[in-house]
Amino acid sequence: MPHQEQVRSLSENVLICLRKIIQSIELHSRDLVKRVGLTGPQLTILIEISKKPMGVSVGEIAASISLSMGTVTGILERLEKRNLITRYKNNSDKRRVMVQLSKAGKQIINSAPPLLQDAFLEQLNNLQNWEQSMILSSLQRLVSMMNAKKIQVEPMLLSGHLDTVTHSETEGRHSFQ
């Protein structure tokens, strides 16, 4: 008896692969929230801050992870409310806001699972250039076929909005806004 995938049409198998990708991203995002109470972008920002223990500016964070200053500022506000970071004015330029990890932020970094895009990019970069180009071309065609060219997204593998999880400190549970 043939495998079920062999009985399905090519187009059905394409849809199944797309769905598997979506589900993988959703599962990883949920697991991250469950394990450390953070979204992918929140953890990405904490990781970026950890690279500069003496402090990093909001602008430097935004530039290094390809997010807008407004998005980064909103995420930093949530992280600060959870006491994962501290923000302060730069001594030499009072207009610049600097950010450092708190002790609790360092603990989160040490216990957090790797980001999905890190593992994906490592595997992608191990492919030969022609394979990488073929994948990119196919994905670009899919984006076009799904009328998604105008959708603006950041280079992160996650589901939903960039920062949809908040932490209720009084109740100790996570909720979606």
* Cα separation, 42 vs 163, whole angstroms: 7
| The model's pTM | 0.73
**Cα distances (angstroms) measured from residue 76 to each of 67, 69, 88, 118:** 12, 10, 12, 22
**CA-wise closest residue to 79 among 53, 106, 113, 118:** 106
Contacts of 115 (CB under 8 A, 6+ apart): 40, 43, 44, 47, 156, 157
Q: Where do the DSSP E strands lie in the chain?
A: 56-57, 85-89, 97-101, 165-168, 173-176
- pLDDT (tens digit per residue) in 107-138: 999 999 888 888 899 999 999 999 999 999 99
| Sole residue written with tokens 């593998």 | 157
Contact of 177 with 164, CB cutoff 8 Å: yes
Domains of the chain: 4-168 (1.10.10.10)
- pLDDT (tens digit per residue) in 82-107: 999 999 988 888 788 899 999 999 99
**Of 160 and 112, which is predicted with more confidence?**
112
* Cα separation, 52 vs 57, whole angstroms: 10
**CA-wise closest residue to 32 among 88, 115, 142:** 115
**How long, in residues, is the chain?**
177
- Determine the 3-state secondary structure of 173 from DSSP: strand
- Tell me the one-letter amino acid at 76: L
Q: What is the mean pLDDT of residues 148-177?
A: 56
